[in-house]
Amino acid sequence: MTSSSPSTPWLASRFSPLLLPPALPHPFIFKRDLPTKSKLVLAVLRQPYGVPRAANNGRRSFSRLVGEEDEVRQAVAVPSSVPVRVAHELLQAGHRYLDVRTVDEFIAGHAVGAVNIPYMFKVGSGMARNPKFVEEVLSVFGKDDEIIVGCQSGKRSLLAAADLCSAGFTGITDIAGGYSAWVQTRLPINQ
């Protein structure tokens, strides 16, 4: 039996980092390792949150990698948001302004040239989504039109912009801060 130095434990003296195998990466971490026949995309499972594990083939995850041939809903594109000054420049460059506030909010004041199609209606003390919103937008705008979407503070317009992107509109841009920021920046309005 060989002796090792008293400061080095016996097991540690028998192994060196050079003798250990290198850590193997997971095959899906690097793009070069992905199968070339089928491009993999991130998709959302059809099961809603809270589906029992048994109904989800024992998996806990709510997203998975799938091949192009699988019939699953693709992840939704998120529209870009721009500050009001950039939105004003886009409007001057030919984009069209879609104001998704309620009719009463629109009548109280709106950006010059804005078209009003409410994303939500006041119902009692709350708000309800306009079920014909996308249909009404299609009656005024084309799916390839460059549209900037605004509301009062920026929350409804982001939801509306996401719905429009999901419906196939390609030129959607959200106005961060909404009409409130538009007024604070002293951009042109109609009252």
The CA distance from 83 to 136, in Å, is 26
β-pair partners for 172: 147
- In terms of DSSP bridges, do strands 171-175 and 146-150 run parallel, antiparallel, or are they unpaired? parallel
Could you confirm whether 165 is annotated as catalytic? no
For the purposes of burial, counting CB atoms within 10 Å of the CB of 23, is it exposed (0-12), middle (13-18) or buried (19 or more)? Answer: exposed
- In terms of DSSP bridges, do strands 146-150 and 96-99 run parallel, antiparallel, or are they unpaired? parallel
The CA distance from 138 to 117, in Å, is 11
Q: Which of 151, 160, 164, 165 is catalytic?
A: 151
Cβ(42)–Cβ(65) under 8 Å? Answer: yes
Positions annotated as catalytic residues are: 151
